[in-house]
C-alpha cells in the first residue's frame, strides 16, 4: 500500500474521531495527515511527508488551536438588534421627559422617554440609552443638564 494512501486513511480516521471529541487537536492532526498524503501523492519521499506532517501539526497546535480556544472561552458577545443599542449615545431631537420625546440613535430617529420621570432633557443634549422598551429608547442625560434638573410639569 502506498504511503499517501495510509496518510489519507489516517486523516479520515482522525477527522471522524475529532467529530466525536471536539478537542481540535485531532482535527489539526487530520489536516496535517492530509498535507502528508498530498506530499506522498505527488511522489515526494517518506521523509518529506513526515516533515510536512510534523510542521503542519506543530503550526496548527501552536498557532491555530490557541486562537480557537480563545474564541470558545469568550463565547458569543456580539449583540444584535435592540440589545446592541443599549449603552450607545444619542442626541435629543425633541424634548424628552418621562413619557415622550425623540432622539437620533445610530443614524435613526427613535421615540424616547427618560428613565427619571422627573427630568426633562432639552433638544441637543446627549443621552445614553439605558434600555430599549419595545420601539422606545429609555434614556438618561450624559452630562449635567443646563440649569440643573428641570422638574416635569404636566
Is there a contact between 87 and 129 (Cβ–Cβ < 8 Å)? Answer: yes
Query: Per-residue pLDDT tens for 53-88?
Result: 999 999 998 998 888 888 777 766 566 677 788 889
Residue 154 has a pLDDT of 45
Low-confidence stretches of the chain (pLDDT < 50) are: 150-154
The pTM is what?
A: 0.50
- Cβ–Cβ contacts within 10 Å for residue 133, how many? 13
What pLDDT score was predicted for residue 13?
95
The pLDDT assigned to 152 comes to: 47
pLDDT of residue 72: 75
Amino acid at each position: 500500500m502506498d504511503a499517501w494512501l495510509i496518510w489519507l486513511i489516517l486523516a479520515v480516521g482522525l477527522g471522524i474521531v475529532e467529530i466525536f471529541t471536539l478537542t481540535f487537536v485531532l482535527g489539526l492532526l487530520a489536516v496535517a495527515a492530509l498535507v502528508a498524503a498530498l506530499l506522498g501523492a505527488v511522489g515526494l519521499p517518506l521523509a518529506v511527508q513526515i516533515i510536512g506532517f510534523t510542521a503542519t501539526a506543530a503550526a496548527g497546535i501552536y498557532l491555530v488551536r490557541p486562537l480557537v480556544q480563545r474564541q470558545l472561552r469568550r463565547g458569543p458577545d456580539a449583540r444584535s438588534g435592540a440589545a446592541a443599542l443599549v449603552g450607545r449615545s444619542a442626541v435629543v431631537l425633541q424634548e424628552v421627559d418621562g413619557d415622550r420625546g425623540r432622539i437620533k440613535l445610530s443614524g435613526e430617529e427613535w421615540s424616547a422617554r427618560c428613565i427619571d420621570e422627573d427630568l426633562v432633557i432639552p433638544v441637543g443634549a446627549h443621552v445614553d440609552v439605558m434600555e430599549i422598551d419595545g420601539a422606545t429608547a429609555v434614556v438618561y442625560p450624559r452630562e449635567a443638564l443646563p440649569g440643573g434638573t428641570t422638574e416635569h410639569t404636566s
